[in-house]
Amino acid sequence: MSSTVVPDLRPETYTIPGPSAPAPSKRTPKGFRPDIEGLRAVAVLAVLAFHASVPGLAGGFVGVDVFFVISGYLITSLLVREAITTGRIRLGEFFSRRARRLLPSAALVLGTVALAGAWLTVPLRRTDLEYDVLAAALSVGNWRFVAQQTDYLAAGREHSPLLHFWSLAVEEQFYLGWAPLLAAIVFFAARAARRGRAVRSTVALLAGVVTVGSFGLSLYWTHSSVSLAYLGTPSRIWQFGIGALLALLPWHKLPGPRPLRVVCGWAGLLAIGWTAVAYDATTPYPGYAALVPTLATAAVILAGTPDRSGVTPVPATRYGVDRLLSARGPRAIGRLSYNLYLWHWPVLVLVEARFGALDWPVKVALTAAAALPAMAALHWVEQPLRRSHILSELPRRGLSLGLAAMVVPVVLALVVGTGTLRLLGPAAPVDTLGLPPGAADGTSLLAKTGAALKGGPVVPDAAQARKDFPPDGECEVAPTAVTSPACLFGATTSPDRIVLLGDSHAGQWFSPLLAIAAERQWALEELVKQGCPLPELTVINPQLGRTYRECDSWRAAALTRLQQGPKPRLIVVSSLNRYTDDRQLLLAAWEKTLKPLRALGVPIVYLQDTPVPGMDIPACVSGHTEDPAACAFGRDQAQWPDPLAQAIAAGRLPDLRSVEVNSVICPGGDRSCPAVLERILLYRDDAHLTNVAAIVLTARLERLLTESGALPARGTPGADGWTQLLRDDFEGPAGSRPSAANWQYDLGTCYPGCPAPQWGTGEIETMTDSAANVRLDGQGALEIVPTRENGRWSSGRIESRRSDLTPPPGGVMRIEASIALPDVTGPAAAGYWPAFWTLGAGLRDGYTGWPAIGELDVMEHVNGRDSVFGTMHCGTLDGGPCQEPKGLGSGDKPCTDCRKSFHTYAVEVDFTAGAEQVRWYLDGREYHRVTAAQMDPATWDKAVHHGLFLILNVAVGGNLPTALGGAVTPATEPGHPMRVQYVAVSTKGATR
């Protein structure tokens, strides 16, 4: 899903206010700037007002820029002053002071949030929060949030209570780099004749180079990745550099009247105020816009810069902005600013997590209330530890305190997070094998004849739903991409294909359309781009933070690819239906996209957008496992009027068809839409269906496409050039036998008469017809299960009754099955040998004549390895043109998840005149081929020019597993089934 505005990154902006100013005293420490302490108040009040959504202060996020400049100025002043007076920089003492000053207060907030999150947040959000605690404690929070903000697939999640810690991370990273760098410069300049000038000039030169480079990077990232520009350390260093240059250059020697300094200060303060009012979430930031508050802050600091005597000029004191900023009120707020910032944002976010969205007056009240823990932390934590003689006596004590302040929240986060992960359960991928079949029609989501999900948790569970994406790899291209890769799935060599075109709301239909294409031996081409409206609209991309130019380029490239490529059989288009609420603008934009598609002369189906919950559904469900109905959401906001669907229904676009599933997943008669329906968790985030929900909707979508006339009915002879000879979807009650009309059992350890003991391969199991070994699972799959009892292995082996399966003269025969291999690996899988294969029909006449009679191993898999292979056996027993007994094999074909999910295995026997061959496919991609030219005509003829029968079995032990290092041992585990979703044989006539 995309948006037309940049997301609110600014509310989470604040920085460590630098070295704490001392409380007022009769003796003011040398170098102390009360006006800067007051300037902190201006910055923090702007940020807090913005966080509280105070009207008119949409640019309050500029407070972060103010603090970065202040920090650069004060830290550089401190370090350079020490270098000039002592000839060195004591890094241990520097970091000890920072640790005493900053880390205990931060640790208190982190620990409180870690514990409060366990009570105030739902489990799934709690796990995210504990990861945030870890990142914040280790001062890398900004990079965690960069990753989240730039990840389109993570969009829609609520703000973290610790998102404001990003700026603390930036500042700590600045300290960790800047202080050692200055220490190195001082070390080499220590013996210079004029040490002060050498140090200042060298550091000033370095600061200038870093500032210019960082600012250039900031400009680039602002136009390429707003999140990286806003949260990244390299693109923020220039603001510290401006502060450093203020501390290093001799501004007090600048000529000009003193009133100019007064004007400079007031102009700077007014400019800060102007940006807080004039800027908003649509301002490209930081970029050039950040120059205004950054230079304005520099102007305020410069206005109060002392002269050579260290005394601020009298006119500036009387009329300057420093007089206002040095007043008691601003300084009091400035002293509290660090702790106030630490506490206010968690208060706002956690209260909203508990009670829902808050109006701005309530937020203002909560922000004010956050001053109570902030003052407590200042007086009882920060000041006592900073002023402690015991801690300040030796640097290592302060450093030890800082380390402890990091460790405590980390431990709390690990404890709470581990407990939450146990509560949520394993987040392993969803086992789609056990899903009940969806209803093709009616008002129910699931088929009434299927195995309904009775009781228990929802499927997928909340943790699984977050990761339940379509298995399309990198084909749903990221915002920065301008073209799609070659994304062809299923029968990739087929001349027929379905095209799926649109944004991520189109991409959610990948699995159903792939299944529909596979049923027809078609390919599926996916052209999908994240957050990119298929209608020709100009939008702002939230991840890039600017006009989505890449979307326009990608859309044009996708349309050009379709115009120049082979004509598809069907185009399915879908897109988020809320890029604009302007009906006429949207229809006009659709027309621009649909016009070149119509010119292709193929059926176009508009798949209407699904409801948009607008909230993190998995997080909600994780907190309402016993009552997921509590996560229902309003229908009116979730389903916007669809002008394109209305135009199609009214007959104004006769060349388009429209289908929808919303009447099922958001049934009428209620003002709300369910998050969970018939125990299927429908949404993976705040806008997209889970892949499980999409799979369950496959049968319904196929019916809708067929009834619309855009898709030929499955199994219609000649509808798509293929004629189906055999198909079994293994429907039936759990524990029942496969269809006796299609299959027969092989029993024992050899064929009748035992021409080849142990099935000729040395395997050790006995084949049975017991339901313990061969059965339907009641959910649309056949299971063949090896078992062991009293040390004796049993398994199952079935053959097709038909043995006349052969291509027509000059045509092609395709044999395929959807199979999930036994989910076992390592020593527990030693000796497992599942296979799908064919033998020549002549073998049934006395069960002799192998290998000349021909064997095509569509799929073999041994010892639970991450690979499969295909082989052709033919010719003579030893050697010969087919290199027996090895055969003409493909070698290992990698398949890392073939044990966990269904994959399609196929061979095509092609009798095209002059080019006869056999081809092997895995998920529609050819990976092996044997041609007639590889052997003499007589051998080829005996191997393939006759009928074939099919075999499905799981052997245990044998020559092949042993040769590959997998002899059966006591560690070999029984009970892991090979599951077969369907077997199909189709033929196509000769191409004219």
Position 448 scores a pLDDT of 72
According to DSSP, the residues that pair with 922 across neighbouring strands are 905, 925
User: Which residues, other chains included, contact 353 with Cβ-Cβ below 8 Å and sequence gap of 6+?
Assistant: 120, 121, 125, 158, 161
User: Which residues, other chains included, contact 44 with Cβ-Cβ below 8 Å and sequence gap of 6+?
Assistant: 14, 17, 63, 333, 334, 337, 340, 341
* Token pair in block for residue 214: 């960082």
What is the C-alpha to C-alpha distance for residues 532 and 556, in angstroms, rounded to an integer?
Answer: 12
SS3 state of residue 258: helix
Position 718 scores a pLDDT of 47
By percentage, how much of the chain surpasses pLDDT 90? 61
What is the C-alpha to C-alpha distance for residues 764 and 787, in angstroms, rounded to an integer?
Answer: 12
SS (H, E, C) 552-605: HHHHHHHHHHHHHCCCCCEEEEECCCCCCCCHHHHHHHHHHHHHHHHCCCCCEE
pLDDT band, very low/low/confident/very high, at 157 (cuts 50, 70, 90): low
Position 124 scores a pLDDT of 82
What is the C-alpha to C-alpha distance for residues 426 and 65, in angstroms, rounded to an integer?
Answer: 43
Residues in the chain: 992
Secondary structure (DSSP) of 449-472:
TS----SSS-BS-HHHHHT---S-
Q: Long-range contacts: 189-192, Cβ < 8 Å, 24+?
A: 190/87, 190/88
Q: CATH 3.40.50.1110 occupies which residues in the chain?
A: 446-707
Average pLDDT of the chain is 87
H/E run at residue 143? helix 141-149
Please provide residue 233's backbone torsions phi and psi, each rounded to the nearest 5 degrees.
Answer: -65, -45
Secondary structure (DSSP) of 214-247:
HHHHHHHHHHH-HHHHHH-STTTHHHHHHHHHHH
H/E run at residue 414? helix 395-424
User: Which residues, other chains included, contact 84 with Cβ-Cβ below 8 Å and sequence gap of 6+?
Assistant: 195, 196, 199, 200
Is 151 or 301 the better-scoring residue by pLDDT?
Answer: 301
Q: How many CA atoms lie within 13 A of 194 on its CB side?
A: 5
What is the C-alpha to C-alpha distance for residues 682 and 944, in angstroms, rounded to an integer?
Answer: 48
Rounded to the nearest angstrom, the gap between the alpha carbon of residue 645 and the centroid of all alpha carbons in its chain is 30
What is the C-alpha to C-alpha distance for residues 863 and 831, in angstroms, rounded to an integer?
Answer: 5
Least Cα distance to 525 among 515, 533, 535, 514 occurs for 514
**Would the CA dihedral through 255, 259, 262, 266 be positive or negative?**
negative
What is the C-alpha to C-alpha distance for residues 130 and 415, in angstroms, rounded to an integer?
Answer: 9
User: Which residues, other chains included, contact 591 with Cβ-Cβ below 8 Å and sequence gap of 6+?
Assistant: none
Q: Are 969 and 830 in contact (CB under 8 A)?
A: yes
Q: Are 784 and 835 in contact (CB under 8 A)?
A: no
User: Which residues, other chains included, contact 946 with Cβ-Cβ below 8 Å and sequence gap of 6+?
Assistant: 806, 840, 841, 842, 853, 854
**pLDDT by residue (tens digit) across 419-432?**
776 767 666 777 77
pLDDT higher than threshold 70 for residue 31: no
Position 307 scores a pLDDT of 56
What is the C-alpha to C-alpha distance for residues 254 and 236, in angstroms, rounded to an integer?
Answer: 28
What is the C-alpha to C-alpha distance for residues 613 and 636, in angstroms, rounded to an integer?
Answer: 10
Helix residue ranges per DSSP H, 225-327: 226-231, 237-248, 258-278, 291-303, 314-319, 321-325
pLDDT higher than threshold 60 for residue 715: no
**pLDDT by residue (tens digit) across 671-710?**
899 999 999 999 999 999 999 999 999 999 999 999 888 8
Is 609 or 188 the better-scoring residue by pLDDT?
Answer: 609
What is the C-alpha to C-alpha distance for residues 911 and 991, in angstroms, rounded to an integer?
Answer: 11
C-beta atoms surrounding 222 within 10 Å:
23
Position 317 scores a pLDDT of 53
* Token pair in block for residue 486: 């070659």
Q: CATH 2.60.120.200 occupies which residues in the chain?
A: 723-988
By percentage, how much of the chain surpasses pLDDT 70? 91
**pLDDT by residue (tens digit) across 159-181?**
889 999 999 999 999 999 999 99
H/E run at residue 963? helix 959-963
Rounded to the nearest angstrom, the gap between the alpha carbon of residue 485 and the centroid of all alpha carbons in its chain is 19
* List of E strands, 844-989: 855-860, 867-873, 888-889, 893-894, 903-910, 917-922, 925-931, 948-956, 978-988
* Token pair in block for residue 717: 């002879």
Q: What is the mean pLDDT of residues 263-269?
A: 92
Position 306 scores a pLDDT of 65
Position 377 scores a pLDDT of 93
Position 451 scores a pLDDT of 47
Buried b (16+ CB within 10 A) or exposed e, 578-595: bbbeeeeebbebbeebbe
Helix residue ranges per DSSP H, 609-661: 617-622, 635-638, 643-649
Peptide bond into 809 cis (omega under 30): no
C-beta atoms surrounding 418 within 10 Å:
12
C-beta atoms surrounding 177 within 10 Å:
14
Q: For strands 766-767 and 792-795, give the pairing.
A: parallel
What is the C-alpha to C-alpha distance for residues 311 and 335, in angstroms, rounded to an integer?
Answer: 23
DSSP 161: T
Q: What is the mean pLDDT of residues 195-199?
A: 74
User: Which residues, other chains included, contact 326 with Cβ-Cβ below 8 Å and sequence gap of 6+?
Assistant: 34, 35, 37, 38
Q: What is the mean pLDDT of residues 481-503?
A: 91
Assess if CATH 3.40.50.1110 describes domain 446-707: yes
* Token pair in block for residue 168: 């603390």
What is the C-alpha to C-alpha distance for residues 332 and 330, in angstroms, rounded to an integer?
Answer: 5
Q: Are 918 and 945 in contact (CB under 8 A)?
A: no
**pLDDT by residue (tens digit) across 605-614?**
999 999 999 9
What is the C-alpha to C-alpha distance for residues 512 and 699, in angstroms, rounded to an integer?
Answer: 8
**pLDDT by residue (tens digit) across 109-132?**
999 998 888 787 888 888 888 889
* List of E strands, 756-796: 766-767, 774-776, 782-784, 787-789, 792-795
Helix residue ranges per DSSP H, 356-387: 360-369, 371-377, 383-387
- Most confident residue range from 347-351, 437-441, 750-754, 763-767: 763-767
pLDDT band, very low/low/confident/very high, at 361 (cuts 50, 70, 90): very high
Position 9 scores a pLDDT of 31
User: CA angle at residue 335 from 112 to 237, to 5 degrees?
Assistant: 80
Least Cα distance to 838 among 951, 980, 750 occurs for 951
Position 26 scores a pLDDT of 41
C-beta atoms surrounding 309 within 10 Å:
8
pLDDT higher than threshold 80 for residue 464: yes
Assess if CATH 2.60.120.200 describes domain 723-988: yes
What is the C-alpha to C-alpha distance for residues 143 and 847, in angstroms, rounded to an integer?
Answer: 67
Position 315 scores a pLDDT of 42
Q: Are 928 and 870 in contact (CB under 8 A)?
A: yes
Position 450 scores a pLDDT of 43
User: Which residues, other chains included, contact 565 with Cβ-Cβ below 8 Å and sequence gap of 6+?
Assistant: none
User: CA angle at residue 724 from 907 to 511, to 5 degrees?
Assistant: 70
Least Cα distance to 588 among 539, 644, 634 occurs for 644
SS3 state of residue 274: helix
pLDDT band, very low/low/confident/very high, at 337 (cuts 50, 70, 90): very high
pLDDT higher than threshold 70 for residue 897: yes
Q: Are 203 and 76 in contact (CB under 8 A)?
A: yes
**pLDDT by residue (tens digit) across 785-819?**
999 999 999 999 999 999 999 999 999 999 999 99
User: CA angle at residue 331 from 326 to 333, to 5 degrees?
Assistant: 145
